Amino acid sequence: QVQLVESGGGSVQAGGSLRLSCVASSNIGDLYCMGWARQVPGKKREGVAAINSAGTISYVDSVKGRFTISQDNVKSTLYLQMDDLKPEDTAMYYCTADRPSDGHCPDAYGTPYFGFSGQGTQVTVSS
């Protein structure tokens, strides 16, 4: 079982920045797939960004050019740098991870379906 603990959420004005962190209980180098997903009450969880053990990165179209995913294998920590935030980015953000048997990681759109998820951290962007 993998424990994922997110932090870094908060309230900012449009155009501001936040950096989310996710500490994993396992060596994230052993987790082939890691990513971020988000959810607004009453809507389905949606993908945001993904990174695999080879360092391949993908983003959903709505955050490209504004969000940056990265990881520190030594600290077993995943990050999401969010710049130029918009009110539509308001959501609960979840760190997700998976260790698929075939080693194949979905792209950012697949992060809501990863096998492990944290409890989430709230991001609120006001206009």
Q: Are strands 4-7 and 10-13 parallel, antiparallel or unpaired?
A: unpaired
pLDDT tens digit sequence for 77-118: 999 999 999 999 999 999 999 988 888 999 999 999 999 999
Is residue 70 scored above 90 in pLDDT? yes
pLDDT at 103: 84
CA atoms within 13 A on the CB side of 13: 0
Residue 120: count other Cβ atoms within 10 Å of its Cβ: 18
The whole-number pLDDT of residue 12 equals 98
Q: What does the pLDDT read at residue 50?
A: 98
Concatenate the DSSP letters of all residues of the chain into one string. Answer: ---EEEE--EEEETT--EEEEEEESS-GGG-SEEEEEEE-TTS--EEEEEEETT--EEE-GGGTTTEEEEEETTTTEEEEEE-S--GGG-EEEEEEEE--TT-----GGGGGGSSEE---EEEEEE-
Q: Summarize the confidence of residues 21-50 as an average pLDDT.
A: 91
Query: For tokens 């179209």, what's the residue?
Result: 61
CA distance 10 to 15: 14
